[in-house]
Structure 1
């Protein structure tokens, strides 16, 4: 079995420039990290589609590797999802992740989840909007904390029947991944990644959601703690 690729997350041009030397198969421009870069608030829901797309266009200039874009919950209803997909694809996205969160999407551990009918409508809208046959739509399932394993398994089963490029599993634990990977499926299964996560059989890729930003932020907080508030003149100067 081949090793599953890790897709590092970024939100700033500085991080993406540093990642150019990393042997990644693609990079994930997380909406939460983009919002943190532009607004200082780590919440994907704080950015409009046009703001996110404008930032994506700037980031596209820094790399020729695939960029995974955060379509969130479609930025509205299925019609909004259709036009948002077009805008992000034209702004340089090669993969687009559509969450099953209820609109408006926010970065949180237990997000409210859309109905299956709403999510299905948005998935079809995104698929219809894609212009390049090489652009993929990935479905992000975030309902585990509120909907449980049985409902998530049922959703994975019908999402797997669509002509998408992959299914991303968030808010999981080992038991959940074992159950989901054991299900018959035709599309790639991708799981969100944390630094302490080992390789897992049946997972075809790992999606970073902010490791570099978290590590850099911890160092910055430590440095700021040690930053003096004012500088005192040496005693010999005061004489």
Structure 2
């Protein structure tokens, strides 16, 4: 079961240096930014992600959380995604409720309850041989509202899902969620700057995925390198 602050990275070096048993999230969004220079996880195909994830798993031997995005297509794609990433060593698979291809900055569409539940069921079946735990991620609160969010959580828990990620919340919605009886099953993803990690940590969700912080830190390091090279080249002139 996931708990605490989950490291978000695609760096084998960082994973090795952390030397922790804590699972780490291999973010498709971060991978797209580092390989394509674009903040859009939907540009990374299943094959591209699988190849990178498989190498990372072999090199680090760490407990990894795979990013299944929106299943990379239909129910069969979700089943295949779970089977392939489970075989590659994933212990957990995040599957979001966006329409495929998933977006990173703004959700442009979400699947219906029926389609999403069937996608999750397909992923559970695909990962069964590997004891892969499927963690649905609900991103569409701005599309379907708080009551529909609660309904989706209840449907997922009823079918046996153990933990669920909720993303793109505002403060009011976060406070409401804190009071729900199922809150102990909930992890919060911070995918924008609307909520800070300290603020969310204070309400004690089961776990936190600080995606925005990881991206900001990575971009800041790149900016420092850019400034260093620019300064050195200007000195040579």
Q: Give the whole-Å Cα distance in 1 for the aligned partners of 2:236 and 2:96.
A: 53
Change (3 A) 1:94 1:206: same
Q: Give the whole-Å Cα distance in 2 for the aligned partners of 1:232 and 1:152.
A: 58
1:138 Cα deviation (Å)?
Answer: 0.3
* Residues 29 and 40, structure 2, Cα contact 8 Å, conserved in 1: yes
Find 2:155's aligned residue among 140, 155, 158. Answer: 158
Q: Give the whole-Å Cα distance in 2 for the aligned partners of 1:55 and 1:232.
A: 38
Task: State how many pairs are aligned.
Answer: 229
Larger-Rg structure: 1
1:176 Cα deviation (Å)?
Answer: 1.4
Q: Give the whole-Å Cα distance in 2 for the aligned partners of 1:213 and 1:149.
A: 27
1:123 Cα deviation (Å)?
Answer: 0.7
2:128 corresponds to which residue? 131
Q: Tell me whether 115-124 or 103-112 shows the greater mean CA deviation.
A: 103-112
Change (3 A) 1:223 1:127: closer
Q: Give the whole-Å Cα distance in 2 for the aligned partners of 1:13 and 1:133.
A: 23
Can you list the C-alpha shifts for 1:8-56, whole angstroms capped at 9, x where unaligned?
A: 1012333333433xx4621000001122233232321111111101100
Change (3 A) 1:81 1:232: closer
Q: Give the whole-Å Cα distance in 2 for the aligned partners of 1:88 and 1:134.
A: 11
1:64 Cα deviation (Å)?
Answer: 3.3
SS at match of 1:139: strand
Q: Give the whole-Å Cα distance in 1 for the aligned partners of 2:87 and 2:57.
A: 11
1:19 corresponds to which residue? 18
Can you list the C-alpha shifts for 1:103-161, whole angstroms capped at 9, x where unaligned?
A: 11111233411111110110110111113463200010001122221221121121221
TM-score when scaled to structure 1?
0.85
Structure 1: gaps of 5 or more residues? 234-239
1:79 corresponds to which residue? 76
1:232 Cα deviation (Å)?
Answer: 4.8
Query: Aligned ranges for residues 35-50 of structure 1 at < 5 Å?
Result: 35-50=32-47
Residue 112 of structure 2 is aligned to residue 110 of structure 1: no
Query: Aligned ranges for residues 217-236 of structure 1 at < 5 Å?
Result: 217-225=219-227, 227-228=230-231, 229-232=233-236
* Residues 66 and 93, structure 2, Cα contact 8 Å, conserved in 1: yes
1:186 Cα deviation (Å)?
Answer: 8.4
Q: Tell me whether 84-93 or 210-219 shows the greater mean CA deviation.
A: 210-219
| Structure (1 or 2) with the greater helix fraction | 2
* Residues 45 and 104, structure 1, Cα contact 8 Å, conserved in 2: yes
2:182 corresponds to which residue? 185
**How much is the aligned-residue C-alpha RMSD, in angstroms?**
2.4
Q: Give the whole-Å Cα distance in 2 for the aligned partners of 1:15 and 1:186.
A: 31
2:7 corresponds to which residue? 8
Can you list the C-alpha shifts for 1:83-112, whole angstroms capped at 9, x where unaligned?
A: 111011111110001100011111123341
* Residues 36 and 43, structure 1, Cα contact 8 Å, conserved in 2: yes
